[in-house]
């Protein structure tokens, strides 16, 4: 009887782990799609307005890229029926690494390339931390696109 319980518990744990990993990967894919799809929109819009030189600034380019990733990732999370609080937390995980790195960039302690690489690398664990803070949010089927559940507006 213990082995049956242990197996069932292991299966539930495996399933929750897979849901966590799947959700993480889905958000990474959404972020890449946001960069690829929205980057040209910014390029066109700033070109049309005659302000494309703004993107020559690495701080502006990094924040625009974080915005592109956040828009797509937020849309995907809302599609998956996550409330606004987890979406805002994940958005913070997109921006926080870049914001932290702006002061070293502005003081010349790091290069534009370091800003971009480090910002993206730090974003990945920041996302994981945001997810771990709401483990049930990211390890249940309730937030994986089930159409029979209402869209959550808040979490206790």
pLDDT tens string 107-151: 999 999 999 999 999 999 999 999 999 998 898 866 554 433 444
User: Is 138:20 a contact under the CB 8 Å cutoff?
Assistant: yes
| pLDDT for the residue 89 | 96
Asked if residue 154 has pLDDT above 80, the reply is no
Complete DSSP assignment for 94-108? HHHHHHHHHHHHHTT
What confidence score (pLDDT) does residue 1 get? Answer: 53
Rounded-to-integer distance, Cα 16 and Cα 103, Å: 39
pLDDT of residue 143: 55
Report pTM: 0.78
Note the pLDDT tens digit of each residue in 34-77. 999 999 999 999 999 999 898 889 999 999 999 999 999 999 99
Residue 19 to residue 17: CA distance in whole angstroms: 5
User: What pLDDT sits at residue 149?
Assistant: 44
Q: How far is Cα 25 from Cα 122, in angstroms, rounded to an integer?
A: 16
């Amino acid at each position: 009887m213990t082995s049956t319980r242990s197996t069932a518990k292991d299966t539930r744990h495996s399933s929750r782990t897979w849901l966590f990993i799947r959700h993480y990967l889905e958000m990474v894919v959404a972020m890449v799609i946001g960069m690829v799809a929205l980057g040209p929109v910014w390029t066109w819009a700033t070109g049309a307005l005659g302000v494309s030189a703004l993107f020559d600034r690495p701080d502006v380019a990094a924040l625009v890229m974080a915005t592109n990733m956040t828009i797509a990732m937020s849309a995907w999370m809302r599609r998956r029926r996550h409330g606004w609080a987890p979406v805002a937390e994940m958005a913070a995980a997109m921006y926080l690494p870049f914001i932290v790195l702006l002061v070293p960039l502005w003081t010349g302690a790091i290069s534009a390339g370091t800003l971009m690489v480090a910002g993206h690398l730090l974003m990945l664990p920041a996302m994981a931390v945001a997810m771990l803070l709401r483990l049930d949010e990211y390890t249940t089927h309730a937030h994986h696109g089930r159409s029979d559940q209402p869209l959550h507006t808040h979490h206790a």
